[in-house]
Every structure is written in structure tokens, then in C-alpha cells.
Amino acid sequence: MMVLAGAGSGKTRVLTRRLAYLILSGAASPETILAVTFTNKAAREMRERVLELLGLDAPSGVAHRFWIGTFHGMGARMLRQQGKYLGYDPDFTILDTADQERLAKRICDESSFDHKYWTPKRLINHISRWKDDGITPDRLDEVNEREFLNPGDKTRVHSFYQSYQESLMRANAMDFGDLLLNCLELWRRHPDLLAHWQHRFGHLLVDEYQDTNAVQYRWAAQLADLHKNLCVVGDDDQSIYSWRGARLDNILHFKDDFPDVTVIRLEQNYRSTGNILRAASELIKHNQGRMEKSLWTEDDDGRKIDLFTAESSEDEARFVASEIGALCPLGDFSRAAVLVRASRQTRAIEEGLMRQGIPYQVVGGLRFMDRAEIRDALAYLRLVHSARDDVAFERVVNVPKRGVGQVAMAKIRAVAMQESVPLLEATRRLVAAGGISGKAKTALKDFVMLIDEARQICQLESPAMALAHLLDRSGYVASLDGHEKRDEKMDNLAELRGVLVRSESLTMFLEETALVTDMHESGEPSPNRVVISTLHAAKGLEFPYVFLVGMEEETLPHSLAVNEGAEGLEEERRLAYVGITRARERLYLTHARKRWMYSEPTFPMPSRFLRELPAEVLEDRGPKFSVKFGASGSIGLPSGGSRPFGGGGGSPRFRLR
């Protein structure tokens, strides 16, 4: 079954009701249903809704029988049980992007791979994308030659990719791409293990199907191949992640891949007013690569969409701030959101809100788990959990500084390579054999002892006690004395310890913290703050008042996407559609006559998407002046109606409060 669920039509409700019905009707038991989505937030919401429908509490025994989670989380859960058939221990570490880049830098240093273009970060980005497409090192020939500067680069990158995978295996670690790719490799080598999961899961439910990549598609299709009970929910009009591997064809060609499919369209919108829906529907109709559906609502038309033409970025920001002040007179600023195409647009908006004294939050900013002190603490815990975690070892062996320099590290790496042991074990052997002297010898001996003590405390007492011991005995807490953000860092570490206390085990804690750094995850909106967000990060959110700013050529649509041709332009139109459908009651569209880019003034043209909106749903809030749009002439709307880009003079109308 494929459920085409338009924006605001209740797709999460469909999935959760279906899942609960399967159980309540006796058609399936909790452990025979696999439900997957993309973010931990969405998985958590799905799980909570199902438990509520079943009349159960989260701590109940039944809750643990559910297989509801992210693609990566479910892949990790399967590999914890069967990864041994690929050579992994059950306590394998999951590396996030920062850990991957650290490992890549070490490999580059060891192999003298020094290239201006192929930096560690770029190498990791390419490998992550290749893994999403199912490209392993032995299949690199399938990659388009244009991705490499020259044939010599392809050979060097291939060698790096192989070394990277070998390093992961030695460290008993996987990155995000491996969590699904290794499942497919496991099933290829051991069809009986695939059969185990196929018999186990009689029903498979997939949320946000339009965002699946090649590997996620294969993973789900193989699991559902026995019982054919595959139910996917998605919206092709909200497919906006091709840049990170999502394949729109997965949903457009679902009927071809699964001929016996039943297609159900959910077209009633329960979120937005009639005028907002009319604008969104007319806009998205200009896309060719889509499945036909039309959103409608029983609600009234509501206010027209406000269209504001600003003189400059600062003028635009002043207008946005003054309107938010008028819309939220009682200070409930969380009802408003400002959506941008590119993060560079937020600076002027932030300054405008600050001048008005309006609190705001940038969604997708620095997350809790990305803070330096948290990453340090997690690295210590990972090394306690797995002595083979070389990436964690290299992060904390000299944190806080304990006199372990490059010479000592070179000796440790040499022993590790010669004797095929992890860095921690190499350190233990090097110190015991007297292969290192001076301050470094004492520091490394104490470091090894510290990890051993923490591991024992973790087993005999608790992981939280082990963390306290690590931070104290290592000198980490003392090293924060005098730091301008000492109190904030200590609070963060205390919060981490509190989370650890509530976790089932150190293994589960580390897995959850690793998976929460998935790139699909965005920050949670805070109470009483205006949300400033990119359009990509805003997907899944909704607000009474939405300001979609910077509706200009080369911003929305973005210049890079336009250069990609029709497919790039259609994804930009879907992005604008997503932004418009975030609004419940009021929608503002703004563009500016002049902006500054790289210290140079630019005079952007209004976005072509504005021309594609029906005139009758727009209300002009800006100055009157003539605008030409490339070779197609004036953007003017039909005579007799509102002309947002009409002639005349005047200045922007905004009220300061």
C-alpha cells in the first residue's frame, strides 16, 4: 500500500492508527511489525502515539517488544545481534561525522595523502554519499568519472576508501552508511539471516518514503519480499533531500516496483487556510515529476498572503520584526517562524529581531551533543565501552593536556600497526616494555589505568559513576577552572550524567547519543521564541505565522539548483511548497530590491515562484515599482487585481512598535 499524504493531511496519524489496528485486531503482535522513519523525534512520536492508542505506558513490558525507530537505529539493532557474521563484536561503535573526519585525517597523515581538493571532510562527504547509493570500495568504478578531477585522483581515493573501511573494522566501528549497507552485505552472504528477519516481520511500515535513498529502498524491499505487507506513506511534493541521496523515483515508480499496490490519496488538509493551500497547490502544479493530487480544506479562506517588497535586507528584517510584534502582542513569540533558503540570510533577520527585543532561536544551531565538553566525555565513555575504539582514544589521550606529544603518538601507532592491536593495547604494551620515557610514560601509564578503573566501576557500580570518575581523575574538571564558560560546561556535563543515569545500559546510551547526531535531526523549537530555520530544517514543523523571506532569483530558486536543469528547479519549487505549507493562519512572502553579497551590492530579481502564485490570494504590502523578469517581461498580475509588482513610487510601509 502507498499512501500519498499531502502536507498537513495527517500522515503520522495514518501510520500510528494502522499499527495500533494491526495489534488490536489480532492481525499481528508488536514484535512482528517493523516501522521506520528518519528522525529520532519522529520515531519517538510514533511510538508514544501507538502506546497511547493501545492504552499502554512507555515503561510497560509491551513497549520493549516494538520495533519502531529510524532506519539507522533499526539497522544497528539488527547488527548488534548478527554483526558477528561480518566480523564485528556486538559492542561496535557508531561514528558520527566529526569522528569520521578525525579518522580520515589520521589516514591521510599516515599515507601522506595531502590534496587541496580531496580534504578529509570532502572524502568523508563523498564516501557517505556513495554508501547511500550502495557503492562499496570494490564498486567505485560505477561512480561517474566527473566526480574525480583526474584518473590519478580516482586511484588515490579508491585506496583511501579501502583504508578507511579497514580502519573501521579494526576499531570495531561503523559509520551511519554502514548501518544499512552492512545489513545488505550480511544478507547477501547469509540468505538464511535475511530469511530470519523476513519471517520475523510480517508487516513493514515506512514513513516519509519520498526521502529514502537507494540503500534504504533495497533494505525495506528485501525485508518485505516474503509477506508483501509493505505500507509506505509519503508525499512526492515534499521530496527536498536529493543533495543527500534521497531518490524521488522511489515513490514515483513505486507502482512499477510493486505492481499489486493499492494507492490511497490523502488530500484533505487540516492545517492551513484556503488561501495558503490555493497558493501551494498552484505553485506545485508547475512541476512535471509528480503524482497528481489537490489539497483542500473545510476551513475558510482566511487572510490573503502578505507580499512585501523591501528596499534592502535590513528593511526586510525591520518589516518582519514589526509584524511579529503586532501578531504576538502578548509575547507568545513561538507562534512565529522565519524561514530562509540559505543560512547566510539569518544574520539580518537576527539583528532585526534583536533591535525589537524579540527573543529568537536558530533551529539547527549547535546541538547539545556537538559541544566540545560533551564530545570529550562521550569519547572517554566509548573507550571504556570498547578498547578497540581508536578514534575515541586519539581524541582523549591528551585531553586534558598530559604531555603526550606527536613523538609518543607515533610510537603508539607503530606498535599498533606492527602487532595488529588497538591503540589502547599498543599503549599498554609500549609502557610495559619501556619503549617510552619521561613525562609521556607516566601520563600514558596513568591514562591506561584510568580507563581500566572506569571500566571496572562501570561493571560493578554504574556507567554514571564511571563518568564521574573519568572526569575527576583525568583532571578534566580541574582543567575547566578559570574558563569563561566553566559553569555552562559543568552544567552540560551534569546534564549528560543525568541522561546516563536514566539509560538502560552504557551500550544503549552510546548508541542513542550517536544516532541522535544523524544529519536528518533538527533542533527542537523552544517556548516563547521566534524560530529562525532553513527550509530544509523546517520540514515537519508548523506555525500559525510564517515568514518566507528572500523570495528572489538565485536564492529561491538557488543558483546552484537552477544550473542543474529541470530536476534542480523542480526540487527548489518543492522546497518553496514545503515553506508555504508550514503556515496555518498567516503567510508572508518577502523579497528585497538590494542586498549585499561579499561586500558588493546586488539587485536580485523577484523569484519566478512568485509569478506562479494566483493573484487573487496575494495582498501587496510593499512599495509600488516596475520590475522586469528576464526575457519574459513584466511580472505584473492580471489587470484589475492586486499588482504586487506594479508601477508607481513610495517607500516601504512598516510600523515600529
Catalytic center residues: 11-12, 207-208, 238, 582
Written as nine digits, the cell of 237 is 511534493
Q: Could you tell me if 68 and 31 are in contact, meaning their C-beta atoms sit under 8 angstroms apart?
A: no
| Type of residue numbered 188 | R
H or E element, residue 633: none
**CB-based contacts of 288: which residues, under 8 Å, 6+ apart?**
566, 570
Strands (E), 305-463: 305-310, 336-340, 360-362
How does DSSP classify residue 418?
H
Written as nine digits, the cell of 254 is 513505486
For helices 463-473 and 506-515, the axis angle rounded to 10 degrees is 70
Other CB atoms closer than 10 Å to residue 29's CB: what's the count? 12
For helices 438-460 and 423-432, the axis angle rounded to 10 degrees is 120
Q: Could you tell me if 167 and 103 are in contact, meaning their C-beta atoms sit under 8 angstroms apart?
A: yes
Written as nine digits, the cell of 471 is 572526569
Strands (E), 427-494: none
Q: Could you tell me if 458 and 471 are in contact, meaning their C-beta atoms sit under 8 angstroms apart?
A: no
CA 380 to centroid of chain Cα atoms: 25
How does DSSP classify residue 636?
P
214 is in an annotated binding site: no
Q: Could you tell me if 390 and 422 are in contact, meaning their C-beta atoms sit under 8 angstroms apart?
A: yes
What is the rounded CA–CA span in Å between residue 388 and residue 424? 7
**CB-based contacts of 38: which residues, under 8 Å, 6+ apart?**
70, 71, 207, 208, 211, 518, 520
6 is in an annotated binding site: yes
What is the rounded CA–CA span in Å between residue 326 and residue 335? 12
Rg (CA), the chain: 27
What is the rounded CA–CA span in Å between residue 402 and residue 8? 55
Q: Report how far apart the first and last C-alpha atoms of the chain are (Å, whole number).
A: 53
Length of the chain in terms of residues written: 657
What is the rounded CA–CA span in Å between residue 469 and residue 449? 12
9 is in an annotated binding site: yes
26 is in an annotated binding site: no
Nearest CA to 241 out of 203, 213, 278 is that of 213
CA 514 to centroid of chain Cα atoms: 13
Encode 48-105 in three state secondary structure: HHHHHHCCCCCCCHHHHHCEEEEHHHHHHHHHHHHHHHHCCCCCCEEECHHHHHHHHH
What is the rounded CA–CA span in Å between residue 625 and residue 611? 16
Nearest CA to 373 out of 497, 261, 268 is that of 497
State the residue for C-alpha cell 601522506: 112
Nearest CA to 181 out of 231, 143, 120, 137 is that of 137
Where residue 291 falls (left for φ over 0; alpha for ψ -120 to 50; beta otherwise) is: beta
H or E element, residue 237: none
What is the rounded CA–CA span in Å between residue 87 and residue 79? 11
11 is in an annotated binding site: yes
Annotated binding site for ATP: which residue ranges? 5-12
Annotated binding site: which residue ranges? 5-12
